[in-house]
Every structure is written in C-alpha cells, then in structure tokens.
Amino acid sequence: MPCYCDWSDRRWNPNTGLCETCQGSYKDCSGKLGHEVSDTLDEATFLKEYKKEEYPKPSVTVDIVIFTVIDSDLKVLLIQRKGHPFKGFWAIPGGFVDVGDGYQKQGESSLEAANRELAEETGLPIGSCFLEQLYTFAEPNRDPRTRVISIAHYALVPSNLMVFVHAGDDAAQAQWFPVSELNSLDLAFDHGKILQMAINRIQGKIDYAPIAFSLVPQTFTVAELRAVYEAVKGDKYDPSNFRRRFHRMLQDGVILPATGKRTTNGRSAQVYRFKA
Amino acid sequence: MPCYCDWSDRRWNPNTGLCETCQGSYKDCSGKLGHEVSDTLDEATFLKEYKKEEYPKPSVTVDIVIFTVIDSDLKVLLIQRKGHPFKGFWAIPGGFVDVGDGYQKQGESSLEAANRELAEETGLPIGSCFLEQLYTFAEPNRDPRTRVISIAHYALVPSNLMVFVHAGDDAAQAQWFPVSELNSLDLAFDHGKILQMAINRIQGKIDYAPIAFSLVPQTFTVAELRAVYEAVKGDKYDPSNFRRRFHRMLQDGVILPATGKRTTNGRSAQVYRFKA
DNA sequence: ATAATAGTGTCTATTAGACAATATCCT
DNA sequence: AGGATATTGTCTAATAGACACTATTAT
C-alpha cells in the first residue's frame, strides 16, 4: 500500500521503508510519473553492500545561545573555557551530537542534542524552555584543532525559572552577561558572530512571533511583558501604546486574563497568561 | 597588540592566532576580566599533541532548493535519483561539503559548497543567483545508509537567466516543477519537509526583505515584479495598491527608474532597476 | 474603435506614535 | 497627601484593501 500522506509530511522509516504516520510503503509510491520502480531485492543488496566511504568527515556540535531577562535586562549565559584553544575566553555552551555508530545506529537529532545540552547547562528539565535552531556555522578553521561544524541554537529561559538555574554555582564557570556588555568580552572561536546573529534573530522575531511569552512567567502583567520587549529590543515602549497592542492580543484570544493581581510600587496590575 | 575589532566581527585565524581584519593577536586580548592568559608555548604544544578523537562523525551535505518564476509560476528544480535508495524518486540537488583532511586542511565552507553545487546544477557562474542558508536537517535515519546531516539552502534564479540554465538537457535528469504540483510527486528522503520549509521561508521573507528582486531581470516593470510576488505568495495583488508600495520603494531609493520602456499587450510600461 | 495593460486618485479601516487625563495602590 | 504605577482616551500619521477612473499602446 502506498503512502497517502501529504507530500511535506511524509516520513520514511529507513529500516522498514514505510511512512511512519500511515505505514504506507515508499516503494509502492513510485511510478506516478512513469519512472522505473526499484526492485526490492536490488535495494536490499545495495544497502548491504554500501561501502562506508573513506572521505574525511567533520565533527558536528550544537551550540546554544541561552537568553533570559533579569531586572529588565537581556542576558546570555556564557562559559569560561578551561582548556586550549581560547583558554580563559568566554564561550557559548555546546556539545557534540551523538551520531551512534553512524550506520545502523544513527544516534540523536541535533535538536535532541541541544535539548540535552540546555538541560545540562541550566539544570532545568528538558522541554521547560523555548529552543530553536538559529544557523549552522560551517566555515573552515573555526577551530584550529579539527573541522567543526556547529549547529547554533537559541533558547529562552523564563524569568521565574531563574531561581532554579545553577549558573555561577561552581566559581564563575558559567555566568550571565548583559548583552550590552558583550563588546568588552573576549569571546572564543566565532562565538561573537553567533551571539550577534542570535540577538538579531530574537529582536526581529519578537515582532511577529510570540517568543516574548517564553521569557515571562506563566502569568504576567502588561508591564512585565513590556519589560521583556524593552529588554530584547533595547528600546522604550510607550506604556499606553503597548497596552493597546496587548489589548488586541487579548481580543484575538492570544492572551487570556488570569485570576489575581500583582503589586509593585503603585497601583496593582491585572495578571494574564498566554494561551497554549 | 590586541584585536580592537567589534566583538561580533572578530575573526581569528587559527594558524597565526591573529584577527583577520586588524591583525591583532587573540592572546593579547584576554585578561580584561582578570582570567588567566594562556601561555603561547603551552597552547602550541597542546595543538600539536591534540588527539584526533575516535568518535564516529556524520557525513555533511548541502542541499539546495532552487526557485525561479516561469510564466508567473513559482517553480523548483528537482533531480530524479538514478541509484538507491529512493531510486526514481525526485530529490533536491545537493552534494558533500569538502572538509579537506579535516585537520590541517579544513576544506570549504558550507556556503562555498552550496555555491559550487548551484553552479554545477544550473550551469550559471558562481554568484549570479541569490543563495542563503535555510535550515539544517539532522534527524537520525534520514538516510538509511549512513548518518547524513544536510545543511539546506535556497536559491533564487532570475527569470532572464533561465535561457542559460541547462535543466532538462540530458533526458529528464533535472526538471522544473511548479510548487503547486509537488503534492503529486514522490520525493526522496525528507525532501518534502525541506521543500515546504523553503516555500514558507520565501513566502514570509518576501514581505520584509528584497528577495523578489533576485527573481526578476536586472531591469523590470511594475507588473513583472508584481507577477513575482503573486507567484511566490500564490495570491493576487491589486495592481494599483501594489503600485503604491512600489512607489514608496521608489521614494525610499530602493528602486531606481531605468531607461527604456517595455510593451506586451497594452500600454508600454516604465522600466526600473533595483539599487545595489 | 476596441481590447488590454499602465497608471492615478479616492474612500475606508487598521495600526502605530505622541501625549493628556484619570484611577488605584502604597507609604 | 503624594509618589508611583495602571488604565483609558484622543489626536495624528502611515499603510493596506477595495475600487473607480484615465492614459497609452497594439490590432
């Protein structure tokens, strides 16, 4: 039986040759355009005899730019390198992608690797933060030791989870830096470029995607959300105009009123929550 | 002398340890935060004795979704696979990234690889088309043979260069498909996902970035540019409202009037060109 | 003359920026 | 009472969608 899934949703299982969602065989799919349908035995033989090519391969890592907002200030988590090269320089946390044996066992996806690394670095459980791929940095000589390709990601830690994050626990190994102070920092490898791209990305994306909600607690006030926008954009927003945008999101059902109020210095404020 | 470049622009040459733009040494940079400055000899020894780790590595390829607009229709270039797996299926063109020996010689960047592949596939000289990284697909088991990580790109071929593109030359090896017909096609690997993401990307990006100019000839009329927008978005634009947007770009200096007029069926139209 | 396309103008609704005014809370 | 913040409202400018209208060219 062929796969009837939408063309962009088909997901072939390489061991069975079946689509993972509908269990249709990819071999039954071909022929619509009159081309040759491959012989099953042929392909099985081919895969068995597939020669592990001898070409050099790169190491592949995931790097993560971890953002949070502390005291209305956008910050990133950096790690001081203990070893060479760039010993003593500050670096974005990262790690290798597990590729299994590279053949029968193919290991984890890059997103899984990034999730693992993010959890290790922050101490937060997997899935508690927004995490997304940013860009892949694949210039030669990024690392003097060997060819390393880095799939860079960025993560957003909500401010209320910060109390659980163990950054700075073990004597300045990891530390939060305000993005405004990054220019006075010596960054390892091409991590300056990666950081700049990550900052540009969230500054652009906050205008059309609901990423700000990943930086505030589950419930938040208008002013708290505005503080996140101001921290990310590095600019001031008119409170009343921002409220109007907020109110539109409320009308559109993007935001829902929550029970309770919050008071800081002046009048107490209504609390809201992000829907789904 | 330390490097005085902007933090996000620093580019360390791994052989010399110098910043490529200002020739400042990265070793003179450290210490601003009071951390240990690494001994030069120490690091040289370290790099020499650096052990080539034995962990399995993935193969890394670049894939390119090549777009063009033919007869007001958005099309992508696909290749029919000759060998297993997915023999006879249609696939996005791609190739391996040259990583040199992986150590002293680290080969080419992924963008260089993509440029090379794009030139091979279209027959156009390098640099004649817009080319940008899209997303890196790194799920395990994407390829049943071995762990392959694909750095996907997308390219935009201007319609006037289409006459030089040798797609379909050698008996349906390569062929342009309208994006509206992709759902009736059997696509290899996860190339359906890649295509869908590429389409989403250009549909979103055309609203805030000048990518449409990469799909028209150097000089174009308002209607020609509108046809590109309509092809990409798959929707109709009101000619007079589109003209207003066009006029604003003219006022902002994004577009400049060019000499000459172009006539098709009715009144002849003014010709413009994109600035830089 | 007519069909077809290029180009202009108008009305309305939505949205953003600037800013005044009122409401509520804490000390 | 007074400082601070929340909340509402108003005026203006920019932009987009719908649509009527005029201009120019080929046949």
Chain segment A228-237, per-residue pLDDT in tens = 999 999 999 9
**B260: closest CA among B249, B251, B269?**
B269
The predicted-structure confidence for B177-230, as pLDDT tens digits, reads as follows 999 999 989 899 999 999 999 999 999 999 999 999 999 999 999 999 999 999
When pLDDT is cut at 50, 70 and 90, the band that residue B38 belongs to is very low
Instruction: Identify the burial level of A128 via C-beta atoms within 10 angstroms of its C-beta, where 0-12 means exposed, 13-18 middle and 19 or more buried.
Output: middle
Residues 73-102 of A with CB under 8 A from B: 80, 83-90, 96-97, 99-102
pLDDT for residue A153 is more than 50: yes
Whole-number pLDDT of residue A250: 95
Residues 137-156 of B with CB under 8 A from A: 138-147, 149, 151
Whole-number pLDDT of residue A36: 42
- Mean of all residue pLDDT scores within chain B: 88
Whole-number pLDDT of residue B154: 98
**What is the distance in angstroms between the Cα of B138 and the nearest Cα belonging to chain A?**
5
At position B229, the amino acid (one-letter code) is Y
Compare all CA atoms of chain A with the CA of B109 and give the residue at the minimum distance.
A139
Contacting residues 167-226/B vs strand C (CB within 7 A):
221-223
- Does residue A132 sit at the B interface (CB-CB below 8 Å)? no
Chain D nucleotides close to protein (CB under 7 A) are 3-10, 15-21, 23-26
Whole-number pLDDT of residue A37: 43
d(CA A2, CA A25): 5
Residues with Cβ within 8 Å of residue A208, at least 6 apart in sequence: none
Q: Is the CB of B243 under 7 A from strand C?
A: yes
| DSSP-assigned beta bridge partners for residue B91 | B79
- Does residue A192 sit at the B interface (CB-CB below 8 Å)? yes
- Spatial distance from the CA of B197 to the C1' of D16 (Å): 27
- Give yes or no for a contact between A231 and A74, defined as CB atoms under 8 angstroms apart: yes
CB pairs under 8 A between A and B: 235
The predicted-structure confidence for A186-232, as pLDDT tens digits, reads as follows 899 999 999 999 999 999 999 999 999 999 999 999 999 999 999 99
- Spatial distance from the CA of A28 to the C1' of D21 (Å): 58
Quote the strand ranges of chain A, DSSP E.
59-70, 73-80, 90-91, 94-96, 130-137, 148-157, 174-178, 219-220, 255-262, 269-274
Of A229-238, B10-19, B239-248, the poorest mean pLDDT is in: B10-19
Whole-number pLDDT of residue B8: 81
Quick one: angle between helices B191-205 and B222-233, nearest 10?
Answer: 140
Among A4, A33, A48, pick the best mutation site for testing chain B contact (most B Cβ within 10 A): A33
- For A102, the closest of B7, B35, B146 (CB atoms) is B146
- Spatial distance from the CA of A182 to the C1' of C12 (Å): 48
pLDDT for residue A53 is more than 70: no
Whole-number pLDDT of residue B36: 42
Higher pLDDT, A66 or B10: A66
Q: Is the CB of A243 under 7 A from strand D?
A: yes
Q: Which residue is nearest to nucleotide C7 (CA to C1')?
A: B240
Q: How many CB atoms lie within 10 A of CB B27?
A: 19
Residue B102 to residue A56, Cβ atoms within 8 A: yes
The backbone torsions φ and ψ at residue A255, rounded to the nearest 5 degrees and listed phi first, read -120, 145
d(CA B245, CA B157): 23
Q: For residue A85, is the peptide bond before it cis, meaning its omega torsion is within 30 degrees of 0? A: yes
Distance of CA B201 to the CA centre of its chain: 12
Sign of CA dihedral B117, B119, B121, B122: positive
Chain C nucleotides close to protein (CB under 7 A) are 3-10, 15-21, 23-26
Q: What percent of chain A has pLDDT over 90?
A: 66
Region for residue B251 given its phi and psi (left: phi exceeds 0; alpha: psi -120 to 50; beta: otherwise)? alpha
Helix (H, G, I), strand (E, B) or coil at B219: strand
**What is the distance in angstroms between the Cα of A43 and the nearest Cα belonging to chain B?**
6
Higher pLDDT, A197 or A51: A197
Whole-number pLDDT of residue B203: 97
- For A102, the closest of B35, B43, B56 (CB atoms) is B56
pLDDT for residue A170 is more than 50: yes
**A155: closest CA among A96, A201, A192?**
A201
Set of chain A residues whose Cβ sits within 8 Å of the Cβ of B84: 38, 42-43, 46-47
The backbone torsions φ and ψ at residue A72, rounded to the nearest 5 degrees and listed phi first, read 60, 30
d(CA B186, CA B221): 37
Residue A138 to residue B97, Cβ atoms within 8 A: yes
Q: How many CB atoms lie within 10 A of CB A7?
A: 18
d(CA B79, CA B169): 12
What DSSP element (H or E) covers B68? strand B59-70
DSSP A143-162: SSSS-EEEEEEEEEE-GGGG
- Spatial distance from the CA of B223 to the C1' of C6 (Å): 9
Whole-number pLDDT of residue B51: 61
**What is the distance in angstroms between the Cα of A107 and the nearest Cα belonging to chain B?**
6
pLDDT for residue B95 is more than 70: yes
What mean pLDDT comes out for the span A168-191?
84
Set of chain A residues whose Cβ sits within 8 Å of the Cβ of B110: 136, 138, 149
Q: Count Cα atoms within 13 angstroms, Cβ side, for B163.
A: 2
Query: CA B125 → CA A187, B112, B117, B165, B170, distances in Å?
Result: 37, 13, 11, 10, 20
Sign of CA dihedral A252, A257, A262, A267: positive
Q: Is the CB of B251 under 7 A from strand C?
A: no
What DSSP element (H or E) covers B75? strand B73-80
Q: Is the CB of A208 under 7 A from strand C?
A: no
| The pairing of beta strand A219-220 with beta strand B90-91 | unpaired
pTM score, whole prediction: 0.90
d(CA A128, CA A145): 34
DSSP A238: -
- Does residue A177 sit at the B interface (CB-CB below 8 Å)? no
Whole-number pLDDT of residue A15: 64
DSSP A15-37: TT-BBTTT--BSTTTTTTTSPPP
Q: Count Cα atoms within 13 angstroms, Cβ side, for A241.
A: 4
| DSSP-assigned beta bridge partners for residue B64 | B153
Q: Which residue is nearest to nucleotide D7 (CA to C1')?
A: A240
